Structure 1
Amino acid sequence: MKTHPIILTMSILLCCTTGKKNDEQLKSELAAIELTRGEITLCSSGTDQFGTVSFSQSCSEKTRPDFNLAIALLHSFEYTEAEKVFVKVIDQDPQCVMAYWGAAMSNFHPLWSPPSPTELEKGAKIITLARSIITDKESRESDYLEAIATIYDQWNTLDHRTRLLKFEKASQALYEKYTDDDEAAIFYALALGAASDPTDKTFQKQKKAGEVLNKIFENKPTHPGIAHYIIHNYDYPELAALALPAARKYASIAPASAHAQHMPSHIFTRLGLWDESIQSNIASVTAAQCYAQKSGIKGHWDEELHGLDYLMYAYLQKANDEKALEQVRYLQTIKEVFPVNFKDAYSFASMPARYALERKDWAAAASLQPEPSDFPWEKFPWEKANIYFARILGAVHENKVNDAKKDLEQLKALHAALVQAKENYKSNLVLIQVKASDAWIRLAERKKDEALTLMTEAADMEDATAKHPVTPGEIIPARELLGDMYLQTGNPQRALQVYEEDLKRHPNRFNGIYGAAVAAQKSGDAAKAKQFSEQLEALAGQGNKRVLLVGL
């Protein structure tokens, strides 16, 4: 069968006019995407303050310094600034596929909350445009792009967890295909951490990530991503000691990053190194305040609030209540934050709750309210739950059992909302609080056996669940509360055992040591009573008001 000459002519025309878009076409389509543009915001003397990255890619040579800077920013989770620089690279070289990949990565933030619908739509548009300029589907650039595309393809039909696992698989394929590409290895380690199961106590993926990173750390000691991801993947009581060298190095690798100043405190907190945590977060808060001012953020940046929570937690463990109160009072002056997200919500809820409960100010705990009152708390049920958990513990200890029961219903409603939203991890965290709250209410009703059973269940559940990265620790560890309950019910020997168990997971916690000291004294164990009393003095100093209350 012969082809009609007109059809043949049309086929030739289509063949020759379709294909890779030219720069002007790309710039026109880019203008329709709300990309973050502008000069990078710096609180330091130069762009070399974010670490050393050398990423081999096929874009124009003149863009290489900016591209490497953007990668360094990306590795320290400075997502807004990273996107600015990737967009600058695109403007200079619209055919640079890897810059589109970077812009898409900047909207992903894998270890934080899932991308918003706006970010997902934006990322999908970036991926679509980048695909239109790829001529070699087997190229390294195409493979990188298709890896991040797993987060944006079908984002409105596939759940985030499913897409995250696809990203991990694609990142593994990159790692195995490009064995000489250290960046592929580093991003694979990030993907492993992001896709890890918080209930997996074998830490299979985290350990694998650590192996990958440690193999290249010695040869790239100033690379920001390696140190950063070692900290994240080892941010567990069982693994934290392995990350201490990286934690003590990361801040000096990327001194201009507020997040890099803060991240070491995750490990310092896990190991009870409170002085180092305090210094880390003072630096982080200062850097965050500088960034907010210089970038023109209206209100307070979320990184500042995140650092404040860790800072106050460390002050409380040293029984430095005056400094802790300074952070709470400062928090109360904050009325506007950017962006409005889970980090802000958590700090707003946790800081006043911690300040009351750690000092056993039960009346203050019972009277807590979600503040600021105009904050969109309905969007953050897990974070809000911490306020009601503190209220319940405060009310029970103030012998206001009916008030505690009313607040327990509120806590259960927040749990139900998380279940309905299929937020399985967060709903489990609130369920632990529900069980612990119910336990203390039953103890107040003289149902000791039921109370101890429920409190033990809560402690076992919490031990089997990793804490959320946003928090330095549970509002009060459930096993520490179990120790308190045994002590209150006249079983100091068992209380001492429980406190010692909990201190293995939460070393140098003031109230854990305090409880162990009292339990040892009441058990007649003079040696341990002396040991824990000396630990308290070493932690908080002689003459500290809270130390003196032990009376040993």
Structure 2
Amino acid sequence: MISRPRSLLLFIVFILPFHGCRSSDQNGAQQQPAPAMHHPVVVSPLTPSSAARLMDGIGKVDFAITTNSKEAQAFFNQGVAQLYGFWFVEAEQSFRQAAKLDPGAAMAYWGIAMAAPGTFLPMYQLVLAPNPGLTIVAPPNSPESRARDAIVEAQALRDPVTPRERLYIEAVAARHNPQLRDPDAAYIAVMRRLVESFPDDLQAKSILALALENGYSAPAKSPKEGTGESLKLLRQVLAKDPNHVGASHFLIHALEGSKELSNALPIANRYAALAPNIPHVLHMPGHVYAQIGMFDEAVKSFLAAAAKEREYMSSDPRYSKLSYVHNEILLLHVLGSQGRYRDAMSRIADLMRAKENPADRETAEFFYRVGWFALMKTLVRFEKWDEILDGKTLPFYNQPSESLWYHWARGLAYASTSNAAGAQNSLQLMEQLIRSLERIVNPIPQQFLIARSELQAYIDASTGNVKKGLDGLNRSAMSESLLPYTDPTVYPRPVLELVGKTALKARDFRAAESAYRRALENEPGSGRALWGLAKAFEGLEKKQDAEKMLKEFRRVWRGEELK
């Protein structure tokens, strides 16, 4: 069971390969990197001041609570729908409005406690942090403090409510009890009691299922403890209510990182229509489409989510831009997978010159930083070696992680253009940065060590020691396969692509075929893997197989011919 995540860490996003915050004065001072997670969790640092209003298009929820106010019930249902869409600020506002309309509605305070800290997420997405124990005091008016205050209110009002509601309150109280050794385990235990006592409660089953989603092991992609139980619960809910807005969302997350993500396709196809005014709901199907090679559909999903985010950003200057930026990361990844270099570079340029919300600037996912990483990744994946080395297209970024990726990209560029001395110098600069990072963070992120070993192996191969180089590249690829699941992966380019290309150059067509097959298995629909397989089959004189791969390559690829 995981340890309890601290709510103040939940502003950070696990898409950049390593995180620190650029200082607000942009003076280049290095800061210690922060923990991170899969996608942005936007919570209000202070009690939301805006009053909620009833909205259309946020999903239908029927969650009866003890209240005499129909309006309070309506706002409570809306809050649950927004909670199910990970729209935490808006959910907290709705629950607060329900409490204002009926101050005696205990479950309205339950909702505040569920929404305020932004911890209503799959288990595998939560930031791991040790429980600080009895001495921790949440800062006044912070997300965690608001959750605890709401729990006190809910517990004080629980006498008139139903036994079912009392269990909901008991569960959230356990999750925010600093005296417990493992609050999440206690939360899950109470939710299990709730489901056992009220087996027809679809909300309880959905909420429990989300807490149990523990992901899949790498590289086998076998379900971890809790994931199988989560899937069973969600399928029970969807069998009774195929349009359950919570279970639909949570099933997509439950299948992410598995070998069976295509099983989420029917849900992905209808999920956006269930709550079209919640941006994350529009965004989520794109995860499924992108990972099973349906790139056109993924682009449509991400563009729809971006348009909805811009709608809210333009109407409220306080509206966080973090979810918009996260959506751009996924969109840029898919554009790169399709070969759409110019489209990707245009959106990257927009990101890097955008103005950030001052609060968002202090996160790991502000516009310029995300744009810089996407720029580096795009230049490497499209093998734009001259641009990487021209000193202008990829500017130096004076932060630990970006500096390391900068020298990695330049090292690959030097090695690819037969400049062994330049490549070796880049490798030495990477090693110096890694030694510096080891003094401020422990353990150092694995992707940095993989990048170092990949560059070393590529230098070996490009300077004539092909066998040693391929052996090293394959070891790097194996290490990459053990990285925790994220979408997109934290590593800028699959090492297997370089294994395949190096093997092709050495005319080791069987090794190239093996590498590109694995790359295609990891990234279905990958144009680069399809192209590589076609070239490997040509070398092996498998003409029909080569033609088949080239046909599929031309179906998915929208860019210039690969070389």
The two structures have a TM-score, normalised by structure 2, of: 0.78
Residue 458 (1) aligns with residue 476 (2): yes
Q: Identical aligned pairs, as a percentage?
A: 21
Residue 173 (1) aligns with residue 193 (2): yes
Gaps of 5+ in 2: 1-44, 130-137
Residue in structure 1 matching 2:76, options 67, 82, 86: 67
1:473–1:268 distance in 2 versus 1, CA, 3 Å = farther
2 CA distance for matches of 1:251 and 1:384?
A: 39
User: CA shift at 1:465, angstroms?
Assistant: 3.9
1:100–1:223 distance in 2 versus 1, CA, 3 Å = same
Deviates more, 1:259-268 or 1:52-61: 52-61
SS of corresponding position for 1:336? coil
Whether the aligned pair in 2 keeps the contact of 1:98 and 1:145 (CA below 8 Å) is yes
1 CA distance for matches of 2:278 and 2:440?
A: 33
2 CA distance for matches of 1:454 and 1:150?
A: 48
SS of corresponding position for 2:151? helix
Residue 394 (1) aligns with residue 413 (2): yes
2 CA distance for matches of 1:224 and 1:388?
A: 45
Once the two structures are superposed, the pairs formed by residues 213-362 of structure 1 within 5 Å of their partners are 213-297=234-318, 301-337=321-357, 339=360, 340-344=362-366, 347-362=370-385
1 CA distance for matches of 2:190 and 2:428?
A: 48
Residue 35 (1) aligns with residue 47 (2): yes
2 CA distance for matches of 1:429 and 1:142?
A: 45
1:373–1:350 distance in 2 versus 1, CA, 3 Å = closer
Deviates more, 1:47-56 or 1:472-481: 472-481
Whether the aligned pair in 2 keeps the contact of 1:319 and 1:510 (CA below 8 Å) is yes
Whether the aligned pair in 2 keeps the contact of 1:189 and 1:209 (CA below 8 Å) is yes
Match of 2:457 in 1: 439
Whether the aligned pair in 2 keeps the contact of 1:174 and 1:184 (CA below 8 Å) is yes
1:148–1:406 distance in 2 versus 1, CA, 3 Å = farther
Residue 149 (1) aligns with residue 169 (2): no
Residue in structure 2 matching 1:49, options 57, 62, 68: 57
1 CA distance for matches of 2:240 and 2:440?
A: 45
Residue 108 (1) aligns with residue 127 (2): no
Letter in 1 for 2:57: Q
How far does the alpha carbon of each residue in 1:344-383 deviate from its partner, in whole angstroms, 9 at most, with x for none?
4773353112320221112434558998969xx67xx5x8
1 CA distance for matches of 2:370 and 2:240?
A: 38
Match of 1:78 in 2: 87
How far does the alpha carbon of each residue in 1:75-97 deviate from its partner, in whole angstroms, 9 at most, with x for none?
00111100100111111222222
Larger Rg, first or second structure (1 or 2): 1
Letter in 2 for 1:315: L
1 CA distance for matches of 2:150 and 2:388?
A: 48
1:404–1:253 distance in 2 versus 1, CA, 3 Å = same
SS of corresponding position for 2:49? coil
User: CA shift at 1:242, angstroms?
Assistant: 0.7
Letter in 1 for 2:315: K
2 CA distance for matches of 1:417 and 1:508?
A: 41
2 CA distance for matches of 1:386 and 1:137?
A: 56
2 CA distance for matches of 1:441 and 1:60?
A: 72
Match of 1:15 in 2: none
RMSD: 3.3
Whether the aligned pair in 2 keeps the contact of 1:335 and 1:372 (CA below 8 Å) is no
Gaps of 5+ in 1: 1-32
User: CA shift at 1:121, angstroms?
Assistant: 3.3
The two structures have a TM-score, normalised by structure 1, of: 0.80
Q: How many pairs does the alignment contain?
A: 494
How far does the alpha carbon of each residue in 1:270-312 deviate from its partner, in whole angstroms, 9 at most, with x for none?
10101000100110111111111222237x6111111112222
Q: Which has the higher contact order (CA 8 A, sep 6+)?
A: 2
User: CA shift at 1:126, angstroms?
Assistant: 2.8
Structure with the largest fraction of helix: 1
Residue 491 (1) aligns with residue 501 (2): no
Whether the aligned pair in 1 keeps the contact of 2:222 and 2:258 (CA below 8 Å) is no
